[in-house]
Amino acid sequence: MTDLFDKHRTISERHERMLSLGANAVGLTNDRILSPTRAIIEGRETVLAGTNNYMGITFDPDCIAAGQEALDLYGTGTTGSRIANGSYAQHRELELELAQFLNRKHCIMFTTGYQANLGMLAGLAGPKDTIYLDADSHSSIYDGCTLSGAKLVRFRHNDASDLDKRLARSEDEGGRLVVVEGIYSMLGDRAPLADFVEVKKKHGFQLLVDEAHSFGVLGPNGRGLADEVGLEDDVDFVVGTFSKSIGAIGGFGAGNHPQFNMLRYASRPYMFTASPSPATVATSLAAIRKLKAEPQRRNRLRVNSTRLFDGFKSLGLALGCDSVSPIVAVNCPDEVSTIAMWNALLKAGVYVNIALPPGTPGKQCLLRCSVSAAHTFEDIDRIVSLFGEVVAQGHYRKAV
């Protein structure tokens, strides 16, 4: 009998090797969360710099009060899907307010951000269609594409001319959907949206932008990359998540297409899962209102991100990209030194993400920081200072 776990042996061996080097990044436990930027880890108070808590909103008193009130009024869960059990009024309220925030006619809420990509992609594209996806797309995009059954063509990361070439040689007969991201989660770089829009005008396709890391963060209205570069009218569909800037869990898809709400009856990841819980919907809605009412959070995030980016540059670290975003990734020379640095930083009191191949673009070994509006300047300076100490310990040489 073949053991079903045999196929995972390589992964298991790799995990064991990481553990032997002292890194248990996957199994790390936050014993207590003290604030958006502090936790107790391994008995130490630790600065959190790898949480994607961009707005620092997870402990906002208004959001917490909204969640508590929803628990009291509506209970702990919805116990079923919206097509089976019906929607709660709050689901509708959130979708309406979010559509207004996004300046889109329609919005659908999903139970997680991962399911938002699954639901949108599998709902929009089918076996006779073709999806063109950026090579560095998040796994939820790859999985949504696979679930759709569409023909999948991968183009080189952020390379509009490569997309142009692939579209030119295609023999597609069905619909064509191109998928890019506002900010890419590993390196923090943005899609060159204007270039992709030019290709769209040339070839004709529908364009979906996953704003998971840019929603709430970029643009004069906090709507994401398309808002930042003034190209919202050229983007057909937007996907986002509530687990980052919104500080909750859930996701959304939005658009202006008159048939958009058909996705509620055509998208299996929407239809066959329990709807978001009342407390989650309430905290998400309260957070959306905060994003609208408190643009200073976005401004503070930008200032903090620039401070960290410049601080790392002054240390001579190789960074994931040249533009400032809340994701600041340090490119390390190899797996062993990355793990050593991650360990040293954690022991010194700062938590960052460790990201290793194959989960990274170009086989890069990364220490990935995500900045929060709730970080103080002292926090940012401490993170830079601790990276400097680790570099001085000889764990790092500039990755070329």
> Which of the stretches 17-25, 265-273, 301-309, 355-363 binds other proteins when contact is defined by CB under 8 A?
355-363
Element (H, E) at 90: helix 89-102
Which DSSP string corresponds to 196-241? Answer: HHHHHHHH--EEEEE-TTTTTTSSTTS--HHHHTT-GGG--EEEEE
- CA 292, CA 182: separation in Å to the nearest integer? 19
Cβ nearer to other proteins, comparing 154 with 257: 154
* Number of residues engaging other proteins in binding (CB under 8 A): 17
Query: Do the beta carbons of residue 259 and residue 335 sit within 8 Å?
Result: no
166 binds other proteins (CB under 8 A): yes
363 binds other proteins (CB under 8 A): yes
Among 99, 153, 317, 352, binds other proteins (CB under 8 A): 153
The residues, any chain, with a CB within 8 Å of residue 232's CB and separated by 6 or more, are: 103, 223, 226
Q: Smallest distance, Å, CB 153 to other proteins?
A: 6
Among 43, 61, 204, 358, binds other proteins (CB under 8 A): 358
> Which of the stretches 69-77, 167-175, 234-242, 244-252 binds other proteins when contact is defined by CB under 8 A?
167-175
> Which of the stretches 45-53, 168-176, 185-193, 199-207 binds other proteins when contact is defined by CB under 8 A?
168-176
6 binds other proteins (CB under 8 A): no
Q: Smallest distance, Å, CB 62 to other proteins?
A: 42
336 binds other proteins (CB under 8 A): no
- CA 300, CA 220: separation in Å to the nearest integer? 13
346 binds other proteins (CB under 8 A): no
Cβ nearer to other proteins, comparing 220 with 357: 357
Q: Smallest distance, Å, CB 364 to other proteins?
A: 11
Closest CA relative to residue 148, chosen from 237, 267, 264? 267
171 binds other proteins (CB under 8 A): yes
Among 10, 29, 259, 296, binds other proteins (CB under 8 A): 10
Closest CA relative to residue 230, chosen from 206, 187, 258, 197? 197
Q: What is the torsional sign of CA 344, 350, 354, 360?
A: negative
Closest CA relative to residue 220, chosen from 287, 324, 295? 295
126 binds other proteins (CB under 8 A): no
174 binds other proteins (CB under 8 A): no
169 binds other proteins (CB under 8 A): yes
Query: Do the beta carbons of residue 381 and residue 332 sit within 8 Å?
Result: no
- CA 54, CA 212: separation in Å to the nearest integer? 11
Q: Residue 156 corresponds to which amino acid?
A: R
Site string for other proteins, 18-57 (x = CB under 8 A): ----------------------------------------
Query: Do the beta carbons of residue 387 and residue 315 sit within 8 Å?
Result: yes
> Phi and psi at residue 45, in whole multiples of 5°?
-75, 125
Site string for other proteins, 133-152 (x = CB under 8 A): --x---------xx----xx
Cβ nearer to other proteins, comparing 258 with 358: 358
296 binds other proteins (CB under 8 A): no
Q: How far, in whole angstroms, is CA 364 from its chain's centroid? A: 19
Cβ nearer to other proteins, comparing 170 with 306: 170
> Which of the stretches 36-44, 92-100, 164-172, 264-272 binds other proteins when contact is defined by CB under 8 A?
164-172
> Which of the stretches 111-119, 162-170, 265-273, 314-322 binds other proteins when contact is defined by CB under 8 A?
162-170
199 binds other proteins (CB under 8 A): no
Among 15, 105, 156, 289, binds other proteins (CB under 8 A): 156
Q: Smallest distance, Å, CB 133 to other proteins?
A: 9
> Phi and psi at residue 288, in whole multiples of 5°?
-60, -45
Which DSSP string corresponds to 245-314? Answer: TTSSS-EEEEE--TTGGGHHHH-HHHHTSPPPPHHHHHHHHHHHHHHHH-HHHHHHHHHHHHHHHHHHHH
Cβ nearer to other proteins, comparing 75 with 357: 357
- CA 123, CA 144: separation in Å to the nearest integer? 9
Residues lying near other proteins in the complex (CB under 8 A): 10, 130, 135, 145-146, 151-154, 156, 166, 169-171, 357-358, 363
